[in-house]
Structure formats: structure tokens, C-alpha cells
Structure 1
Amino acid sequence: MSIPGPNDILRHELPNGIVVLVRENHTSPSVVVSGYLEVGSRDEPPQKAGLADFTASALSRGTVRRTFDQIYEEVESVGASFGISAGINRTGFGARSLAEDLPRILDVLADVLRNPTFPPKEVEKLRGEILTDLEERANDTRRMASLTFRELAYPDHPYGRSVDGYIETVSPLTADDLAEFYHAHYTPRGTVLVIVGDVKAEDAVRLVGEAFGDWEGPAPDRSPLPPVAPPDGVREKFVPIPGKTQTDIVLGYPGPARTDPAFLDAMLCNTILGVFGMMGRLGDRVRDEQG
């Protein structure tokens, strides 16, 4: 299998600003759809931390055309998978299905992204799931270590807040809050949609146009991120979790900016040293050489 390159990827921009990238791969009768919108937790106010992810998760809980059960049944009935989640800078979506079911999957995806209704009963069910997860996070050493590191590294900054939010910020959010955030930030402009698999590139572009071509909206209106202040010395914090014998340690140091030519080199180095966990060099030294 060849490595993807500019010569085998079709790029097409719809009139509404959606960028479509397609790469044909006919080794199996399946397709993968992936993409993102220019909205994330950086766009939510601090007192409503978790709003972006709550909104993204609620998109598939009901639309103008389908109930949550109908969405689930339509995807599951053809053995497909489907998901949407928010990050700090963007909200990602993805789906996988047989190539013959691509029109159906794109139709469901477009319906979810364009026509959510945020039914109050479904929003309450989803809130319960989120709050349960946040309670579980408080007892998870790895997740708490990661969250605490971000809070120390980026105090009073969107990068330092939990994308999932906090119990005290998610609890008061309403269906109206989700709808307001959606209408303020979800737009086709800036959206990127990628399709890879057993489909002709021209057919994929046509199907995306049929599903998304008449979606209208302005360019994302995003406030610039505040600058990140460099650490003024060592910052450290110990978070005790009663009943836990496992300890997770997160270490960090200011590195090159994403636009720095050395950024990818630093990412690779970081991966080899520690991102692999116990399979990385640090994990190997701690576990195998020092017991």
C-alpha cells in the first residue's frame, strides 16, 4: 500500500466552504469518513466548561428528521460506526461503513450536523452519562494526572481547562445553552471532510455535495487565544486519591511551537521517550531495569 500524497488525493472545495479530500483505496469494500469543524472548548466561557463537548455529544440525540433511536438504528442496521466529539480547537466527527452504504452514512452525518434539536429528555440522559464519567475521572489516576498537568501548565487559559468540563459547570447547563452554542459556532465554512476507501473520488465529492452542498453559514467567528505565559519556575502538585495504590506522574517542559521546524522532531522524541507508556524508554527503564 502506497503512502498518501498530493498526487493521489483529490481536493475539492464546495461553494459553502467545506473542503473535501478523497483518497481511493480499493483493497477492501469499506470507506472511512473523518473530519472536523472549527469549534472547540476554546470557544466556551470558563463558567460553562464542558459546553462544547456536551453540544457535540448531543448532536446525535435527535434531529428535525430523526429521533435518537432512529439514528442509532439506521447506523447499526448496516454495521456502521459513527461518532462526534469536541477537542480544544476543533470538533471532530467520523464514521466507518461498507462502501455501498456511504450515501446513507453521509445523509445521517449531514442531518446530525445540520439539524440537531437537542431534545430536553435526551439532553438530561446525556448529562447523567457525562456526570457519571466525571465522577469516575476523579478516581482515575491517569486522567487526573493529565488534567492537573494542563491546569498547572496553562493557568487561566483555555488549554488548561478540561474539555469534558467539571461537575459544577456541566450540572447547570441546559438544552437552550447547547442550542445557543450550536447556532453561534457550527458552520460549514472551515469544515474539512475526508473520505478514504472503496469509492471513486468523483462519486464521493458528488455525494458530499448532495448531503452538505446547501448548508449555509458564515465563517467561524473566533476570538484569538490569549498568549500563554511561560512557567516562572517549577510548578508541581500532588493529587491524593483515597484507596488508590497506583501513581501516575506527568512531566512537562516548554517546547517548540507548532510552527517551529523542530516541532515534529520534538514530537517524535517525546513519543519514543514516554508517550508509549511502559513501552517507551522511560517506562522500560523504570519497569525492567529498576524494577
Structure 2
Amino acid sequence: MKRFTSFILALLLVQSTTLFAQDYKLPAYQKFTLPNGLTIYLMEQREVPMISVSAILPAGAIYDGDKAGLASLTAVALKHGTRSYPKAKLDEELDFIGASINTYSTKEAARLSAEFASKDREKVLGIIKELLTAPVFDTAEFSKEKNRVLVRLNQAKESPRAVIGSYFDKLIYGDHVYGNVVAGTPTTVAALTAKDAQQFYHNNYIPNGSAIAVAGDFNSKEMKALLTKLFAGWKKGSQPEANLAARPISKPNENRVLLVNKDDAKETTFYIGAPGVSRNNPDFVSISVINTLFGGRFTSMLNDELRVNTGLTYGANSSFSPLKNGGSFVISTFTASKTTEPAIDKALEVLKTLHEKGIDEQALASAKNYVKGQFPPRYETSGQLAGLLTDMFWFKFDESYINNFQKNVDGLTLDKARQIINTYFPKDKLQFVLVGKAADIKKIAEKYGKVTEVQISAEPPKKAF
């Protein structure tokens, strides 16, 4: 009886999750643009007395030029203090009211996220306004942060999984700005100064091309007035390199292998990949469903073969990393040095099986249910919703992604799935990055394509391979 009751409860949970996914629609929101070009989103969520803020600005690593790591350090340095809030006072004020503000940079953009009690909205929004419009870039604090970054960069070379992404991006994107290393290198970071950050801020932290989303417990009319008052004076800027990432990305015309030698390695960490898709690709939902089956969940084809059936690794997965003007696809895992060849062969075999045999109706139905069940919880909190709104702004997709999600998932047929596989999942011209002991695996690497060997270093390569 107990087992039967548990089964019924589990069944009801699955049904309720599916119904939630079917009914889920993006909550109502307002969108307006100030004369200086700043786009603002407002979404009332009155259930909890909290407010979340997400801001996005055209100030990512693609604008670093020859100063890799500058965008990242600049974003962090915003919290080193403002005209009205020196760092000690800023930290004290936020700590006293239990508010959090984080600033960071990605490849394409700088981001700010914040969460605080709705009763403190005027104070915290005032602080956010100062962080975005009046940072001081304190020299002493910048130097401390730079030293922390240098320590992390030098430690990272001891962990293949910490550095392989940078090598892969350089192999995939070449000299395109998407190949820029977000964290920088020890050489470039060591040369950076607070003045560099201040100049980068002046060039890139501008209202036009930026967006702020506020979600939570507030009155939209009052919030609109407050934000207009705070940000209307932010001067519009010019950014001549705004379309820097829009230039074409060269696609590989053959299999290539980048072998990153780590003499003391006892295992091989490897990526197998290819160019991917941009975030606003109309097939994004269908791609996500197929990738869920292939390598996006624990019971995926990749993990079943490489972990469960053969024991070659503790886990294997695949993912698409979409950007505004492109992206990448990658199969990733690690294995003992002696099983490097069978692990790579097995990963390639699974990819070949996907193309030759495709998927069946039962597997497709399973993936659909999984994806629909995972979807609503991603957009439950005010912080998640604020982040979604700035993503919509940056990647240029609209609420139909949310509102039609169920329909798009259910509409994926076996015929469409075959088209998705053939179009977006690579079958040739694969790009391999292997991090391991070259003496043990170089002959193996040569089996998969033309090999370029480099030494693992805290200095990722500056030039394309």
C-alpha cells in the first residue's frame, strides 16, 4: 500500500509539473526607453517583499583589444567605491540592510545583479545608479584585485578543466573577438592599471545599448518615476566598435587537434566541438530538446555509453554555448591517460549513431517531458525573471520563447528532429582539444586530425591556431 501511495504521489507530481509547463506564460511587464537610450523593464511580482535588478551593458571581453582581462577587472572594480560611497562605506551599507550587488563581465557584456528588501529600494537603487554612473576606480583596491586575479590565473594551469575552455575558444573562434580570454592572462593583467579601467569604463559603460530590468514588489508607476529620475542624467555615449562581434567567424575546413601538454597529467581532459548557434536562433528550443537526449542530462546517450556502459569516465556531456552573433557546440569529458583513445572513439561513435540512427518516438517523448519539467523552475524568482528580461534585450528574442515554449517542444516531430540533427550537430570538420601528457597521447591525437602541440600555461595563446 505504501509503495502504491508513493507511486500515485510521484505520478501526480509529474502531471502537475507538466500542467505548470503548459500553462506558464511570462508575467506582464512594462518596457520603456529613456532619451539617453537606456532601456528599462519593470515586472511586478508582489508575493515576496523583495526586489531584484539585472543590468546589462556593452562592455564585455570582446572590447579588450590587446588588454585581455580588462573588461572583467573593470566590472569588478565598479564595487571598489563611488563618489558618495567609498568601498568600506559601500560594503557596510549593503551588509547592514542585507542587500547584495554583484558585478561581472562575460565575453560580450558587463552585468550587474542585485537583490534587496523592497523597503530599501530607494537606497539600493541609488547605490546601483552610482556604481553604473560614478565609480572612482580606487588605485589601491584595483591593485589588490589585480593581484587576486593573478594568483587565480597562475593556479588555473594546474587544473585542465579550468583552462581547456580558453584553448577551445581560441581554436574555434581564431582571431575573432569571441576568442578573447575573459579572465585575461598573467602578462596582460599584470600590465593593467586603474586608469585603463577608467578609460574602458568611459568608452563602454554607456546607457545607449544597455538595459536595466527590475522585478519584484513595487508599484510600476512609482518605480518608473524613480528610475527615470535616477538615470535620465546618464550621458549618452558613442561606441564605434559596437558591432565588433558581428564580423564573420571563420569556419574550420578540416579536423584539427590542439594538444595541450601537461607533463604530470595522469588523465586526459578533452573537448570535441564545432561552431554552434546564436541565442536567437529560431530552432533554439528544438536544439535544446535534442541535445538533452544526446548529452544534456545524466541519462543521455553520451553519459550512458561513456560512464554507465563502459566506465571510461565519471561523466560526459554536450552543450551549446550561444552568443549574440554565433556560438559553439562541445562534447566534454575526461578519462585516464590509458583510456584516451577508447573514450574519444566512443564519444565519436555516439555522435555518429545520432546521425545515422537518429532518435525514436519514445526517446523524443522522454526528452520533451524532461525539458518541459525543467523549464518553469528556471523562471520562478524575481531574480530569474529580471535576468530573463535583460537576456531578451541583449540576445534579441521576445516573450514568445516563454509563451510558446510548450507548443514548440510538443511540435518537435521525428522528421523535424532529423533536420535539427543534420543541421546543427556536427559530423565532420571536428575540433579537438586534448589536455594531457603529450608523450602518452600524441600518437593517439594524430588519429583524429592535424595536431598542434602547445605547453599548458597560465598564458593562453594569443594567436589563432
TM-score where L is the length of structure 2 = 0.58
Cα deviation code 1:95-138 (max 9, x no counterpart): 01111112221111111111111111111001011111212221
Structure 2 residue 184 is the aligned partner of structure 1 residue 184: no
State the distance in 1 between where 2:42 and 2:147 align: 38
Decide whether aligned partners of structure 1 residues 17 and 157 sit closer, same or farther in structure 2, where only a CA change above 3 A counts.
Answer: same
| Greater C-alpha Rg | 2
State the distance in 1 between where 2:25 and 2:212 align: 16
**Structure 1 residue 258 displacement after superposition:** 4.5
Task: Kindly indicate whether the alpha-carbon contact (under 8 Å) linking 2:37 and 2:236 is maintained by their aligned counterparts in 1.
Answer: no
- 1:194-213 equivalences under 5 Å are 194-213=213-232
Give the aligned partner of residue 11 of structure 1: 31
Which of structures 1 and 2 has the larger relative contact order (alpha carbons within 8 angstroms, sep 6+)? 1
Amino acid at match of 2:147: G
- 1:32-43 equivalences under 5 Å are 32-43=52-63
Task: Kindly indicate whether the alpha-carbon contact (under 8 Å) linking 1:16 and 1:188 is maintained by their aligned counterparts in 2.
Answer: yes
Q: What stretches of structure 2 of length at least 5 have no aligned partner? A: 1-19, 312-465
Give the aligned partner of residue 249 of structure 1: 270
**Structure 1 residue 197 displacement after superposition:** 1.1
Amino acid at match of 2:202: H
Q: Which has the higher helix share?
A: 2
Give the aligned partner of residue 274 of structure 1: 295
Aligned identity (percent) is: 28
Give the aligned partner of residue 236 of structure 1: 257
**Structure 1 residue 275 displacement after superposition:** 4.7
Correspondent of 1:97 among 106, 113, 116: 116
Task: Kindly indicate whether the alpha-carbon contact (under 8 Å) linking 1:30 and 1:198 is maintained by their aligned counterparts in 2.
Answer: yes
**Structure 1 residue 85 displacement after superposition:** 0.9
- 1:122-201 equivalences under 5 Å are 122-201=141-220
Three-state SS of the structure 2 residue aligned to 1:194 is strand
State the distance in 1 between where 2:165 and 2:258 align: 12
State the distance in 2 between where 1:220 and 1:230 align: 28
Structure 2 residue 270 is the aligned partner of structure 1 residue 288: no
Give the aligned partner of residue 41 of structure 2: 21
**Structure 1 residue 140 displacement after superposition:** 2.2
Task: Kindly indicate whether the alpha-carbon contact (under 8 Å) linking 2:45 and 2:216 is maintained by their aligned counterparts in 1.
Answer: yes
**Structure 1 residue 192 displacement after superposition:** 0.8
Amino acid at match of 1:21: Y
Decide whether aligned partners of structure 1 residues 228 and 219 sit closer, same or farther in structure 2, where only a CA change above 3 A counts.
Answer: same
Structure 2 residue 108 is the aligned partner of structure 1 residue 82: no
Amino acid at match of 1:18: L
Aligned residues: 288
**Structure 1 residue 43 displacement after superposition:** 1.3
Structure 2 residue 153 is the aligned partner of structure 1 residue 117: no
Amino acid at match of 2:31: R
Three-state SS of the structure 1 residue aligned to 2:206 is coil
Q: More displaced, 200-209 or 128-137? A: 200-209
State the distance in 1 between where 2:289 and 2:54 align: 24
State the distance in 1 between where 2:265 and 2:222 align: 54
Amino acid at match of 1:34: S
Amino acid at match of 2:225: R
Q: Which has the higher strand share?
A: 2
Task: Kindly indicate whether the alpha-carbon contact (under 8 Å) linking 2:177 and 2:244 is maintained by their aligned counterparts in 1.
Answer: no
Q: More displaced, 220-229 or 150-159? A: 220-229
Q: More displaced, 30-39 or 139-148? A: 139-148
Q: What stretches of structure 1 of length at least 5 have no aligned partner? A: none
Decide whether aligned partners of structure 1 residues 214 and 148 sit closer, same or farther in structure 2, where only a CA change above 3 A counts.
Answer: same
Task: Kindly indicate whether the alpha-carbon contact (under 8 Å) linking 1:37 and 1:186 is maintained by their aligned counterparts in 2.
Answer: yes
TM-score where L is the length of structure 1 = 0.90
Cα deviation code 1:183-209 (max 9, x no counterpart): 111111121111111112222222222
Decide whether aligned partners of structure 1 residues 215 and 233 sit closer, same or farther in structure 2, where only a CA change above 3 A counts.
Answer: same
Q: More displaced, 256-265 or 116-125? A: 256-265
Decide whether aligned partners of structure 1 residues 183 and 233 sit closer, same or farther in structure 2, where only a CA change above 3 A counts.
Answer: same
- 1:68-79 equivalences under 5 Å are 68-79=87-98
Task: Kindly indicate whether the alpha-carbon contact (under 8 Å) linking 1:190 and 1:220 is maintained by their aligned counterparts in 2.
Answer: no
Give the aligned partner of residue 31 of structure 1: 51
Structure 2 residue 74 is the aligned partner of structure 1 residue 64: no
Decide whether aligned partners of structure 1 residues 175 and 93 sit closer, same or farther in structure 2, where only a CA change above 3 A counts.
Answer: same
Decide whether aligned partners of structure 1 residues 208 and 125 sit closer, same or farther in structure 2, where only a CA change above 3 A counts.
Answer: same
Cα deviation code 1:148-198 (max 9, x no counterpart): 111110111211121111111110011111111111111111211111111
Decide whether aligned partners of structure 1 residues 87 and 256 sit closer, same or farther in structure 2, where only a CA change above 3 A counts.
Answer: closer
State the distance in 2 between where 1:167 and 1:155 align: 20
